[in-house]
Each structure stands twice: as structure tokens, then as C-alpha cells.
Structure 1
Amino acid sequence: METRVLKTLEFDKIRDLVAKHCTSKAGRSFIDKLVPVSDFSEVVRLLEETDEGMSILRLRGNVPMGGISDIRPHAKRAQMGGVLSAYELMETANTIRASRILRQFIEAIISDEDIEIPHFEAKKDLIPILTGLEHEINAAIDENGYVVDSASSALRSIRQSLRIQESRVRERLESYTKGKNAALMLSDAIVTIRNDRFVIPVKSEYRSHYGGVIHDMSSSGQTVFIEPDGVVQANNEIRNLKLKESEEVQKILMELSGKVQEVAHDLFTLVTVLSEIDIILAKAKYGTLNKYTKPIVNNEGYIRLSQARHPLIPVDEVVSNNIEFGKDITTIVITGPNTGGKTVTLKTVGLSVLMAQSGLPIPALDGSEIAVFESIYADIGDEQSIEQSLSTFSSRMVNIVDILKKYDEKSLIILDELGSGTDPQEGAALAISILDEIHGSGARVLATTHYPELKAYGYNRPGIANASVEFNIDTLSPTYRLLIGVPGRSNAFEISKRLGLADNIIERAKTFTGTDRGEVESMIASLEESRVQSEKDAEETHNVLLETEQLKKELQERLNEFDAKKEVMETKAKDRARKIVEAAKSESEAVLSDLRAMRLYAGASVKEHELIDAKKRLENAAPGEKPKKVETKKASVRPLTVGDEVQVLSYGQRGTLLDKVSATEWVVQIGILKMKLEESGLQYVKPEKEKKTYISTSVKGRDSNVLLELDLRGERFEDALIRTEKYLDDAILSNYHQVSIIHGKGTGALRQGVQQYLKTHSRVKNYRFGEAGEGGHGVTVVELK
């Protein structure tokens, strides 16, 4: 990508904005590498890296990147055998430590968060592990770049001796400052240092009193700093110890520098990887701060930007536009008045492409699509070549000639005010010819012009579309909205009229424009009216569509809710039916057991085949899992009356007529159930003869065995209600006036369910909790009618 194009489209300003988000100096030093690439797979990788960075920032808020220094010069000098300073070694250790913390941070995200960050994981694996060197440097040098006493035993011994000797010298000199003549002869009663030696400040006239060596003098000459003879030897000893200390420190630094030399190549890799991660995160921070999005990229030359805006214009001032071309339309010519926003539109598209190809999110809504171009060329028109003494037209043409030599079908070409700076007719002719030449090659072209001849350029050429920037006649100002498919109008007459120019002057001016010009303006005006109407229609259609989608969504939710409830109810019904069947079969077995017992005591009165018939009747009376085939029978000819026994043909069971509700419907009692049935499904049957006395006695005997309490503890809710229903029927048949239902305390769900059922039972007169001696709230005492 040409450097001049990056500057023309102001990509260098975007790069400077991204650099501000770099955490490390090393990252900022790599920012020059933030340039567009033309390889499709490389663009995809760069955008995915940035998207991962934005995801990490969204989840964690920040990434630990502190303490990173550009230690490449240190590693290079160590590699050449140089000795690093304590501060340089400290920076090296801090950078290694920062890489270790970052590696742990990425590993924690991979294990803790539900996101995939393969590119960051790959970067993490490239970071060299140099923890050993970090610990060795930290053991010898503190955070201020000072070699600590513990760096070596020799250094500890030297510094201990040095401190003792300095203490002795101070004590000796302090005896001078506290002497009887100190106030008279000394300028100040302090011990100070000059030329790395301990001295005392003596008034100039008493310098000979103390003897020794003069190391300094005050600016006024009133004070001299003297090292008395009594401490010269002691100061010499301190000097020797400091030389030894310096030699030992140098030895330690040399040793550590040698270890840096051994891993110099790894340190180069370390800085490179950390800088790459820093730049990725800077892109992510820049995109997140400005609410930019990751575009879809293609290799087909297709661009579709949704609500795109110029990234260098403040958000509260910029106007967003929808821009689409590159498939059927490969060339767009934008016409319209100056300061209308044509150049801003060109730069918006150009910058969006450059940003995407650099791995940056773009200033457009999510779902926007960008093509990857092998080359981008731009001629914006504000670069007159003064050095070459060329006119505006000449300098522009030099640039366009250069573009025509280099471009191909995989290029994006941006031309602003094509053909300007010369005779209008010749400029327009050149503009049309140049556009025809570039368009014929298959390159994607965005061009602006103010020549009226180009307003109809796209109407008779396939693949070319006219566009304009909207101008508000009422406010006499541009709206900066891009209108694709509609060429721009000059609006000179309308603006002049609103500004107060006389009508007769305007009408006379119109006669000079020519018929063709008037027809073109009329055509453009008609197109604008059609566009406004189509936008209104589209908005109304969109609103209707939104309402329809909302209604569809609500209906679908209700249908899903209905299906879910239906499934639950069917499951409950099947479960209840199964339990009723099992209860009926159990009851039949009990009845048959009683009948067999009675037969043993009553002789041969009851035959075995009669028992089998009784069991079959009981099985037929219970609801089965498979539907039985109901034989169609004709209804009885005899008129039905209240109290008649009838056979319900659809259920195969016998019932009693209770009431006639209409000409064709009866209320029928089937067991404990009351049902409303059609008369056509009922058949009169004769009442059975009275049963033998011993059978009746048997049933009475069985009923008389009904207990005065029902224990439901441990039962499932549905089973408990079924048992309660049957128990109350048995208790009523046994003429009990009061019974107890034991449900326990527990969560209270079973108690509430039982009492809710008792509320609706027609034969329950009253119910209450048991007294303290009856079981309390774990028992409900029921009074029957």
C-alpha cells in the first residue's frame, strides 16, 4: 500500500489514535507496522485477533500489561558482550515478570470463561518462559535498580565494613563539632561530604587551626571544607572499601549480563510477542471506545456499509450513510454542490477499507461487509505540486496517469472532483473517458464531480450508478446524506430565489440554460420526489413488518405454551387413568375374594363360572388402555323417563337417568359421575332382580370394615386424592358422620390439596384440624352430611 495514499486518506491519523491506547513503549514502537495488508487470509486473522481482544476486554475490563519495557537494546548489548547496568537488568526482569503475569491471565480466561480465543492462546504459547533469569536478577537488584547486599557474600562483607568505617569517621568529626571552640571556628556544627570524603565547614580565618586537606570553599570564600589530619587515613580506608564495593558490583552485573546474553534471542521474541499483543489490545480498546464493529470480509470486491461514518469526525457532528456497491454496480459517480459531503463519503469508504485490512474494527453497524483489495489508489485533489511548479490540473493529472499505469481489476480507486481545474467541457470529456477506461477493467471506482455532463453518466452504462449528497432547500444547507441512484442538482435557482433574487432575473437565467439542461433538472427533481415517496412507503412497510413479526412471535409463544400445557395435562390424565384402572382391578379382586369366601361358607350357591362372569363384568366396567369397538345398537323404542336404568352405548356402562335437559339430551348418573349425553346413545335396560340375601350381607359386612380414619402419609399427591375420594364414598355408604384424614404436616402441600378437595365435595358438611389429642395440624377431621 502506497504511503502517499495512507496520508491522503488520513490513515496516519487513525494509527496515531490507536497508538494512544498502547500500554507499553515497546508496543508504541511497533505501531509503524500497523499498515493494511492485501492477503485475504491475513486480513481475516488480524480481524479475528482484534475481535478476541474486544471479547476479553468485555469480560475482564482490562488486561495486565504493566511493567513492559523495550529491552531489545539491552539484549543486543549483552549479546555483544557488554555489561548491563543495574537499571537495565531491572527492566529486563520486570518485562519477564509482565510476560509471566500475562501468560497466566490468558490461561485463566481459557479455563474460566466460555469463549474461544485461539489466536491469543497461540500468542501465549510463543512467549518464552524465563522465570529463572527473572528470579536471579530480582535476588541481586531491587526495584529501584540498586544492587542489594545479599547479591553476594563478598559484597555483604564489604558494605558491612564500609558502614563501620563511615560511622567511626563521623564520630571523630562530630567530636570537632562539639569542641569548646566549635561555635567560634566552625561555620556550622555539621559533618558533610565533599569529593566523597567526610569534612567539616571551617571559617576561613581559622583554617590553619585544624590542619589537614581543604576540599572545597563556599562561593563567598567565608567557609572552607576541611578534612582534618586525624581522619585522613580513615577516609582513605573508606575510599578503598568503596572501590572494592564498585568492583564487586561490577562483577555481579557482569555475571547477570552473561546470563542475559544466553537468552538474548528469547528476549527478542518476548518483546515482539508482547508488542503484538499490546497492539491487538490497542485496536480492541480503540474499537470498543468508539463502538466500531468487526466487518465481514470477502474477496469479491463487494462493499456494503450500514450506517457508516467518518472516523475522524466527532460523533455528535458526523452523518452516517448506507453505501453498497461492487457486485452489479462497480462504479459510483457522486454529483452535487461543494461542501455537501462528497469528499467525506469518499474518505469514509477508503478509511473503512484500510482499517479492515489493518485488522481494525470499522465505523459501521454490525453485519457490514468489506472487500479485500490488493491495492488502493486515491486522488483527493488537494495536493498541488508547488515544487514542480505545476498547476492544479497538471498535478492532478500526473497523479491520475500514475494510477492508470498501476491499477488492475483488484484495485479500489477513489477520485475526487475528476477533471477539475481546466475548461469545463474538456474536463467533463476527460472525466467520462477516464471513468470508461477504469470501469472497463473491472476495478471498483468511487468518483465525485460537479460537472453537469456526468449527471446522466450512469443511465446508459451498465454497472455504473449515479449518486448525490442531499441538499435541504428549506434550510439552504446540506444534510450530508448519500443518495445512490439519484444525481445531484445544482439548486442555484432555488437558493437564489430564497435569498431574495428577483423572479424576473431567475426566469431570464433559466432561458440561458438550454432545453437539455432543463430536462435533466426536471428528471432529477422527479427522481427525488419518487425517492422521498419510496422512503415513506418503505418506512410504512417496515413498521407493518415489525408489527407482523411481533404478532407472529406472540402467537408462536402462546402456541408453544399451549402445546406444553397440553402435553402435561395428557401425561397427568394418562397417569390418573392408569391409577384408576389399577384401583378398579384391585377392587374387583377384593370383591371376588369376598365372593369366594362366602361360597365356602354358603355351600355351592355361588358357582365358579358366576365368579368368572362377575370378574369380567368388573374388568369391562373399568377404563382400559385400548379403546373397545362399540357395536352400534339402535336406541330403545320404549320412551325413556326419569329413574330408568339405561346402557350407555359409547362407554359400555350402565347408568340411571336423572333429568332431561333438552329434547335430545339427558343427565345420566354413572357410578359417582354425572354426565350429559345424547338420547341416541342410551338404551333402556330392565332393572336387575334383587340380589340374594347372603351377597347383600357380604357387602354390608365389607362396608362395615371401613375404618374411621384414612392414612395418606407417604402418598403421592394424585394417589392421595384418589384414595380420599374413594374413602369418603365408602364412609358415606357406611353411614359414618365423622372421619379423620391423616396427611401429616410436612410441606403442607398434601394438607392444602385434601382440604381444597373437601371444600368442593357435596357430602362434606364441615372440616377442621384435629385437636391436640387427635393429631393436631397433621390430621383433618371431616363431618359428613
Structure 2
Amino acid sequence: MNARVNRVLEYEKMKEQLKTHVASSLGRSRVEKLQPHTDLETAQLEQSRTYEGAKVLRLKGQVPLGGIRNIHAHLKRAQIGGTLNAGELMEIADTVYGGRRMKSFVETMVEEEIEVPLLADLIEYITPLTDLERTIKQCIDDHGEVLDSASHTLRGIRQQIRSSEAEIRSKLERMTRSSEQQKKLSDSIVTVRNDRYVVPVKQEYRSSFGGIVHDQSASGATLFIEPQAVVTMNNQLNEARGKERQEIERILKELSAQVQEYTEELLQNIDYLAELDFLFSKAYYAREMKATQPRLNGTGRLHFKDAKHPLLTEDEVVPIDVELGTDFSSLVITGPNTGGKTVTLKTVGLLTLMAQSGLFLPVEEDSEAAVFSSVFADIGDEQSIEQNLSTFSSHMTNIVDILQQVDHESLVLFDEIGAGTDPTEGAALAVSILDYVYNSGAKLVATTHYSELKGYAYNREGVMNASVEFDVETLRPTYRLLTGIPGRSNAFAISRRLGLDESIIEAAESEVNAESRQVENMITSLEGKQRSAEEEMKQAQKTRHEAEQLHHDLDQKMKELEKKKDDILKSAEDKAQKELDKARNEADSIIHDLRELQKQGHSVKEHELIDAKKRMETAAPELSKRQKQIKKQAQKQQSFEPGDEVRVLSFGQQGQILEKSNDKEYRVQLGIMKVNVKAEDMEKVKQESVSQPTRPVSTVSTNTTVKPELDLRGVRYEDAMRKVEKYLDDAVLAGYPQVHIIHGKGTGALRKGVKELLKKHPSVAETRDGGMNEGGIGNTVAQLK
């Protein structure tokens, strides 16, 4: 892109707006060097970087880029062995800190799983250099002054300086407070001249003080004298200050040497910080314009929706829709002066250059921009230049240059092509130039006054007419671009509106041939139809939006109702389950009490206990029809495997799945019985982990699955006895004819205790030791009543 095109399309003015968003002179320098990219891949990469920057601003609000300085000159001087001053060293430390903070900021976003791969790649090349930053800041304060703590020597020298200054001031102040000396002084103060402490003495008392005169007032009435009494002290003070300067110089030289060691890393840091500053300046600029990311292509296709010129204010700009490169490659815009043709041309050109520079555009979402190898423009403000031969020559020179370079990867913009010469010749020349550009394969947007070009698009495939709308009622342009409709002159309508005599207008109209009138009438009809179509489209879009909103609202209400219904059903089911659990607990308590009575000698038969338990099971509250359907549906969705513990609903008993009989039934072990049960007649029983009891259990739980054996190995004697009692009760209720109590051989204490308990237990008919295949004497088999 040449400088003239950038200037004509106001690309440089746009860059001035972009500069207002940089955080440092590093970013400003990058903006100044910004040029449109001519290859698609690079332009897409820059657009992606801007996208990530805009994403960070959307999520975080701002970016910590403060404190970064352009330290190129400082580093170059340090690199050749120069000594940097305190301010320059502090700028280096601030820049190191800014880079470290920026690196940490991006790394935090990556940890938060915010996808910013391009930013993450950039900060990888930033070296923190924390030690260098710390060293400099330990020696220099924020105001660029070397601190006392920079070295022990400097601290001692400064303490001596402060002590000497205090002593000198004290001595001179005593002199100024003396009543004898006060009359000889112009003012009772101690001041400094030439880095030495002095007092203001009246001219006539000069000889009374002796010492050295360092200065005098403008009138000569006051002399600033260093009294003899403090000359030696001032000499010592100046000597100490000399030592201070030497020590500071040594410290700065040492710090500069440390900077020299890291010049390569520092130069790399500021290069990447410049890139980051530039990247986020583009993102801030996009946010200010409320811009969006365009899709880029390399085929010359562009479609700007509701495009706005970025240099116009919100009150001035009128959004336009521009399309090119799909159904047609040339667009010829006609219309009156000040109608907005030139602004349209500049908008297309500037937005194209911005898109190729990696900038977001002030357009609606889903807009598209093309990447061209060259953008050419011949644009002149006809309102500010006189139409004469020199003007025509100037434009034609530029056009000749364009035609020599144009190719199929170019975008060409012509403003008022052929103007400035005889209308007939100018129109003919304009047609030939447009044909030449079209045949080269370039994309073209041209504006013109010539009515001859209104019919140009109708005779050329791939060329489209357009115009800027003019409101005859208000005599003002609307600045809207009407694609597919050529512009009208509106001369007669405007004249009639302004009150020109009707007979004059009619006479003028009679001079216009029938063909021209037919064209004007056709254009008028097209404009009316387009306005009508646009209104109908707006109404249709509004209706569709309302319908979509209504559908969304109804869908939300249906979901809310379904959720509310399910919540009510679940609440009712939970309430019923609680009542059921309560009833079961009460039943368990009753049975436990009956067991206790039985142990104490009261006559309570075992089958009566079982019958009572079954009656209480069947006393559970019935589920509603809807709840049963939900439960049945849930049961159908369950999958069962051999070994699963299940509850058979029709029996109210728990058992274990042995195998799958067929697609619908499973073989289940229920106590001593093996039965076939349908899947919908079963529900899984949640397995509970067996914990070691720490105190006697007072109730019997019927929710735990009962197995045909009880393993007591490793259990303490007292806990084992309680487990055996509870297990026997559960085994009886489960209907087992016999059970195995595995106690191991051990010392025999547990075995003896188990056998004695079984012998006394009312539910045990007889006991025996396990057989050869049953564990021998480590297992006691109990036959149940």
C-alpha cells in the first residue's frame, strides 16, 4: 500500500485514533509502523491476536501495562560500557516489573482455563529478571534518587554530611539570634550560595564578619557572606559531598554493569512488550468503536453490514450495507453532490485497510472482508477544487498509474471518474476505464455524475448499479446506499419543491427525450419498491423475533411446570417413604421387645413373629398411580447382574440374583427357595458397609442383606456375641433353615462362647461342627427352628 492511498483513505488519521489507546511509547512506535498486510495468513493471525485481546478486556476489564518504558537507548549505552543515571536505571527496573506483571497476568488466565494461546505464546519469551529489578530498587527510590542503603560507605558519608550541615546551621543560627549581630544582618536567616552556608549581611557591616563574600543582592545593599568561623566546616562539608558523588558514581557504574549482562534479555522483553501493548491498543480501540471481528478471505469478497466510517461521530455517521465480489465485482454509485458517495467510497477503502491490519471493524456481526495485494484510490473533493484541465490532468495521471499496476488481486476506488472535462468525452472515457479494470479481474467501486453510466450496469455482467438516497421532501440526502438502483438527478423535483414556475419546469421536461424520462420513471419505481420491500422485511423480522420470543417464553413455562410437578411428586414420595421408614423402625422395635420377652421365658412363637413382620411390611402406604408409573419406569431402566442383592416386590423379601433366565426374567435365591422373577418386580438393595459396633445394638435392621454365614474371625469376644444374636434374628426372618457361624480354631474361647450361645438360643434347634468341606471345627453349623 502506498502512502498516497493511505492518506487519501484517511488511514493515518485512523492510526492517530489508535495511538490514544497505547500504554507506552513502545506501543506508539508499533502503531506508527502499522501497515496493512497483503497476505491472508498474516492478516488472520493479527485478527486472532486482536480477538484474544478483546476477549481479555471483556473478561477482565483492563490489562496491567503500566510502568513500561522505551529503554532501547539506555540498553544500547549500557551495552557499550556507559554509565546510566539513576532515573534511567529506575526506568529499566519499572519495565522489568511491568513485563513480570504482564507475564503473571496472562499465566493466571491460562490457569483459569481462559483460552488465549497467542498471548500465552508471546509472554513465554518475556524473562522476569527479578534479581536485577530487586537490586536496582534496593539502591534507587521511586524519584530516581540513590538510597543510603545502596552501600555502607554511602550511608557513612551521608551521616557525616548531615552532621556537618547541622553543626554549621547551628553555629550560624546562634550568630543570627545574637542581639549584637542582628542589627548587622538584612535578615535573621541562614541560606546557601555556591553550595556553602552563608548569612545576609548589610553592606556597611561587611568588615565585621570577615570570611568570604559569595553573592550580593540586586541593589548591592546586602552581601551573602560565609563567616570565617564556618569556612573550615564548609570546606569539610564540600569534601564529604565530593566523596558522596564519587560513591554514587561507583554504585551507578556497578548497576550499569549488571544491566549490561542482561541486555539481550531486556531487548527481547521490550520487543514483546511492544507487541503486547500494540495488541491491546487494538482491543481497546475495538471496544471504543463497538467493533466486531470480520471474516477474512482471499477471494476478493466483501460484505460490510451496517458499516460506519470510524472517523465520523455517532451523530454524523449513517450505517451502510456494501457487498462486492459475490454476484458482481464492480459497483457504480450515482447520485447528487453531498449525497454521501465519497464517504461510501472511503468507508469501503478504509475498512478494507483496517481489516488487513488486524483491526476489528465498526460493522455488524458476520461481516466479511477481503485481503487484497493492492488497494488503489483516486479520490478528490469536487466541492473544494475548481473543475479545469489541470484538475482533469491530475486525476488522469493518477488513473494511468493505477491502470499500469492493477491486477486480479486489487481493489480499485474511483471518485467521480471522468469528471473535469467535456461530459460526453468524460462519460465515454469513464466507461472504457471501468471496462479495463473489470477485465483485469480487479474489484471496483466507482462514483459518478454521468447519467450515461446509469445504464452501464444493465449492459455488463458482473457490474451493479447503486445510488445514495435523496429525500426530495426535505431537500436533504439520507446517506443510505441503495444497491441495484441507479441515482436520479432530482433536478426537476428539487426545482418544483423550491417554487420554480411550473411552466418553466414543463418546458425543461419537454427538452428531455422520452428515453431519459422512461429511465427516470423506472428509477423512481425501483426506489419505491425497494423502500416498500425494506419496510416489509423489517416488519417480518419484527414478527419473527416476537414469535421466537413467545416460543422461548412458552418453552420456559412448560419446563418450569414440569419441574414443579416433578418436585411435588418427589416431595410426596419422600414424605411417604419417611412414614414407611418410621413404621418399619417401630416394627423392628416391637419385634426386638418380643424377642426380649421370649428370652425371659414368655411364650412367643417364632412363626408369629414372622407373620407380624410381614403384616407390617404390607402395611406400607400405597403409592399414587403416577408414582407407581414413575417407579415402574425407573425399575425398567435398572440393569441386574448375577450376585446383585435385590428386593422382590411381590414377596416383600430380599434375595440374591443367581443368573439371567431370559430377556425378561432372572433366577433369584430367596432364603431356601430359588424362583424366577421379572425385572420390573425387583429393585436393587443398596449395600451397606458393615462397621464394628461400639455399643450394644438395641434394634434389628431389616434393610441389611442376610447371608447364609456369619464370619467372626478377628472380632472381639463381646462384639462377636452381639453379632451372633442379631444375625440369628435376621436369619430366622429371612427363612434360612440353617446357618454357618465361622469363628476359627484359635484358642477355642470364641468357639466355646458361640456354641454355648447357640445351645441356649430359642431359635436354634441343634448345632454341629463343620464337615471336611465346611471348615471343620472352625465353623459351627446351626439348624434353625
Fold match by TM threshold 0.5: yes
Q: Work out whether residues 389 and 420 of structure 2, in 8 Å CA contact, stay in contact via their aligned partners in 1.
A: no
How far 1:222 moved relative to its partner?
0.9
Q: Deviations over 1:671-709 (max 9, x none)?
A: xxxxxxxxxxxxxxxxxxxxxxxxxxxxxxxxxxxxxxx
Paired residue for 1:264? 263
Match of 1:304, SS?
A: strand
> How many aligned positions are there?
589
CA–CA distance in structure 2, aligned partners of residues 20 and 181 of structure 1 = 65
Aligned to 2:284: 285
State the alpha-carbon separation in 1 of the partners of residues 29 and 84 from structure 2: 22
Contact 1:384 1:395 in 2 (8 A): no
Tell me the amino acid that sits aligned with residue 185 of structure 1. K
Matches of 1:342 and 1:383 in 2, distance apart? 12
| C-alpha spacing 1:21/1:572, structure 2 compared with 1 (3 Å) | closer
Does the CA-based 8 Å contact 2:11-2:350 persist in structure 1?
yes
Q: Deviations 1:378-431 (Å, cap 9, x if unpaired)?
A: 111249999xx9711000001111111112111111110000000001100111
Deviation at 1:159, TM superposition (A): 1.4
Conserved? CA contact 2:185–2:202, under 8 Å: yes
1:231 matched to 2:230? yes
Aligned counterpart, 1:40: 40
Aligned-partner Cα distance in 1 for 2:400–2:554: 63
> Displacement, 1:536?
3.6
- For 1:569 and 1:155, the matched residues in 2 are separated by 81
Q: Deviations over 1:271-299 (max 9, x none)?
A: 22222211222211121122111111111
Q: Distance in 1 between matches of 2:63 and 2:547?
A: 45
Q: What residue in structure 1 maps to residue 85 of structure 2?
A: 85
Question: Does the 8 A contact of 1:497 with 1:503 survive in 2?
Answer: yes
Aligned to 1:213: 212
Q: What is the aligned partner in structure 2 of residue 175 from structure 1?
A: 174
Shift of 1:49: 1.4
Task: Give distance in 1, aligned partners of 2:79 and 2:431.
Answer: 62
Write the distance in 2 (CA, Å) between the matches of 1:715 and 1:35: 82
Aligned to 1:299: 298
1:478 partnered with 2:482: no
Q: How far has the Cα of 1:42 moved from its partner?
A: 1.3
Q: CA deviation at 1:561?
A: 7.6
Deviation of the 1:371 alpha carbon: 0.8
Amino acid at match of 1:71: I
Question: 1:459 offset after TM fit, Å?
Answer: 0.6
Task: Return the letter of the residue paired with 1:128.
Answer: T
Q: Which residue identity is paired with 1:176?
A: M
Match of 1:60? Answer: 60
- Pair 559,148 (structure 1): closer, same or farther in 2 beyond 3 Å: closer
Q: Which residue of 1 aligns with 2:761?
A: none
3-state SS of the aligned residue for 1:185?
Answer: coil
3-state DSSP of counterpart to 2:332: strand
* Counterpart check, 1:23 vs 2:19: no
Q: Does 1:123 align with 2:125?
A: no
Inter-partner Cα distance in structure 2 for 1:527 and 1:65: 55
- Partner-residue secondary structure (3-state), 1:355: helix
Superposition pairs of residues 753-772 of structure 1, within 5 angstroms: none
Which segment drifts farther, 28-37 or 427-436?
28-37
Decide whether the 8 Å contact of 2:406 with 2:440 is kept in 1.
no
The separation in 1 between residues aligned to 2:185 and 2:550, in whole angstroms, is 100
In the alignment, residue 262 of structure 1 is paired with which amino acid? E
Distance in 2 between residues matched to 1:424 and 1:273, nearest whole Å: 56
Q: CA deviation at 1:554?
A: 5.9
User: How much has 1:556 moved relative to structure 2?
Assistant: 5.9
TM-fit CA distance, 1:573: 13
Q: Distance in 1 between matches of 2:493 and 2:135?
A: 81
SS at match of 2:469: strand
Shift of 1:546: 3.7
**Cα RMSD after superposing both structures:** 3.4
- TM-score scaled to structure 1, two decimals? 0.70
Match of 1:134 in 2: 133
CA distance in 2, matches of 1:217, 1:345: 73
Q: Aligned residue for 1:246? A: 245
Q: Structure 1's 121 and 390: CA in aligned 2 closer, same or farther, altered over 3 A?
A: farther
Contact 1:383–1:395 (Cα < 8 Å) also in 2: no
Structure 1 residues 363, 185: closer, same or farther in 2, change over 3 A?
Answer: same
The residue number in structure 1 matching 2:659 is none
- Distance, in Å, in 1 between the alignment partners of 2:193 and 2:536 is 91
- Are the counterparts in 1 of residues 82 and 256 from structure 2 also a CA contact under 8 Å? yes
Matched, 1:533 2:496: no
Give the corresponding residue for 1:6. Answer: 6
Aligned 1:641-656 pairs, distance under 5 A: none
Q: Would the aligned equivalents of 2:334 and 2:449 in 1 still touch at CA under 8 Å? A: yes
Q: 1:547 to 1:150 in 2, by over 3 A?
A: closer
Which stretch of structure 1 is more off in the superposition, 151-160 or 412-421? 151-160
Q: 1:539: Cα distance to partner?
A: 3.5
Indicate the SS of the match to 2:124. helix
- Partners in 1 of 2:569 and 2:161 — Cα distance? 95
Amino acid at match of 2:80: M
Contact 1:182–1:189 (8 Å) recurs in 2: no
1:97 and 2:117 equivalent? no
- What is the distance in 2 between the residues matched to 1:567 and 1:233? 100
Residue range with higher mean Cα deviation, 475-484 or 519-528:
519-528
Farther off after superposition, 456-465 or 307-316: 307-316
* Residue identity (%): 49
The one-letter code matched in structure 2 to 1:265 is E
Secondary structure of 1:274's match? helix
Q: List gaps (5 residues or longer) in structure 2.
A: 576-627, 633-699, 704-785
Counterparts of 1:119-518 in structure 2, within 5 Å, are 119-382=118-381, 391-518=390-517
Hey, what's the Cα distance between the residues in 2 that align with 1:714 and 1:484? Answer: 84
Q: Tell me which moved more, 257-266 or 8-17.
A: 257-266
Residue 620 of structure 1 corresponds to which residue in structure 2? Answer: none
**Superposition deviation, residue 108 in structure 1:** 1.9
Look up the equivalent residue of 2:244 and give its one-letter code.
Answer: E
TM-score by length of 2: 0.70
Q: Using the TM superposition, give the Cα deviation of residue 255 of structure 1 relative to its aligned residue in structure 2, in angstroms.
A: 0.6
Whole-angstrom CA distance in 1 between matches of 2:382 and 2:195: 63
